[in-house]
Amino acid sequence: MKVIGIRFCYVSPEAARLSRFLADGLGLPQNVPEAAGEPFAGGIFPAGDSWVEIWPESPGMPTGAMLQVVVDDADAWADRARSNGLDPAGPIEQHGERIYFLEAPGGLSVSFLSRRPTAPRSALN
């Protein structure tokens, strides 16, 4: 069992300002650049097999943060979590990935996911 990457997803009414801070202030590369004159749609900042996602708050996307752990086999990780007394929700299949969800101490949303065997790698990689 192997961790392939980490994603951090943050949804906020301040997403546009945060995205500019990361892109313009820190100089992080951005895969979804802000279009001139358009409302901010979100930003993705890649780092190898990992990345940070910044999204504006909207219906169906409430303010919050999620740690996403990309693994080699989400089902095996779910079995491990259950054997350690956790109760992951899922799986769901979305965007070519198999995803399970947990809530960590302190209320942090955590998901772990793997690409489905027939799914192509993300356009971010």
Tens digits of per-residue pLDDT, 49-62?
899 999 999 888 88
- What predicted TM-score, i.e. pTM, was given to this entire model? 0.78
> Does residue 83 lie in a domain region?
no
pLDDT at 88: 97
- Judge whether residue 17 has pLDDT over 70: yes
Alpha-carbon distance of 90 to 78, in angstroms, equals: 9
Alpha-carbon distance of 93 to 116, in angstroms, equals: 8
> Does residue 34 lie in a domain region?
yes
Q: Which helix (H) or strand (E) holds 5?
A: strand 3-12
Which residue range(s) make up the domain with 43? Answer: 14-47
Q: Mean pLDDT, to the nearest integer, of 32-58? A: 84
Q: Give the residue with greater pLDDT, 117 vs 101.
A: 101
High-pLDDT (> 70) share of the chain, %:
90
Plot region of 18 (φ>0 → left; ψ -120 to 50 → alpha; else → beta): alpha
pLDDT at 118: 60
Number of domains making up the chain = 1
> Does residue 81 lie in a domain region?
no
> pLDDT (tens digit, 9 = 90+) per residue, 61-99?
889 999 999 999 999 999 999 999 999 999 999 889 999
